[in-house]
Structure 1
């Protein structure tokens, strides 16, 4: 079985942590949204903000003794997000084609390199946030 298929199955089988019924708390929908955003970007703080929560409360939820399914999904989603972020940084670092305009008309195209992104991708500094 392919590793990416296994990872997707694990995320799809995610069982939210049982919490008290609070409108502003970690509802099952917020937990699922958090995991989905984390799988896209790999950034805990961005995923928590997207779910309307804080990174600290996400880590508290993760540290609960009954959160084993959440922890597994978190781990898989974070790695998936980091892989996507790495691939995107390398792609952009190798160059993005942008139009060259003169007097309001496109006269050509140029490849704009971003060595900082390529450097960050190679050394992983952007992944630790």
Structure 2
């Protein structure tokens, strides 16, 4: 059987860090929380640091994600969820802090062909990152 590696259905990229035993399914649904969708959700959570964003990334709802987490046999999934969420929030914090301190360079092409280059630290982002 050939593996679908399109961007939407790419291979599992979570690695060993967030390995878990998928929650056993009572029935198989095409739009359900299959083991592959569960792994993709954990991966998205480890990157985004947000349950809502990770759910949108895998095309599932937040309520169903929390229901899956509370099912019998979901202990391994819940542990992976907690670790991935913490890793994702750390990643987002580091990203915000980097952008706040190092700033972002913005290049704008104005009318007449002149170019405007702006950049520098973003104090609002810095305050937001420190507040977290």
TM-score by length of 1: 0.79
For 1:116 and 1:64, how far apart are their aligned partners in 2? 41
Larger mean Cα displacement after TM superposition, 30-39 or 113-122: 113-122
Unaligned runs of 5+ in 1: 1-7, 125-129
Equivalent of 1:15, from 13, 21, 35? 21
Partner of 1:27: 34
1:96-121 superposed Cα distances (whole Å, 9 cap, x missing partner): 123365642547x4324322221111
| Structure with higher helix content | 1
Q: Secondary structure at the match of 1:30?
A: helix
Within a 5 Å distance, the mapping from 1:2-81 to structure 2 comes to 9-11=16-18, 13-19=19-25, 20-81=27-88
Within the alignment, does 1:97 sit opposite 2:109 as a pair? no
- On the 8 A contact 1:98/1:112 being kept in 2, the answer is no
RMSD: 2.0
**Displacement of 1:38:** 0.3
Output one character per residue of 1:45-104: Cα deviation in whole Å (capped at 9) or x when no partner: 010111111111111111112101101110111011001100110111121123365642
TM-score by length of 2: 0.77
In the comparison of the two structures, how many residue pairs are matched? 116
Q: Is the strand fraction higher in 1 or 2?
A: 1
SS at match of 1:96: coil
Aligned partners of 1:72, 1:40: CA distance in 2, in Å? Answer: 16
Work out the CA distance in 1 between the residues paired with 2:30 and 2:108: 50
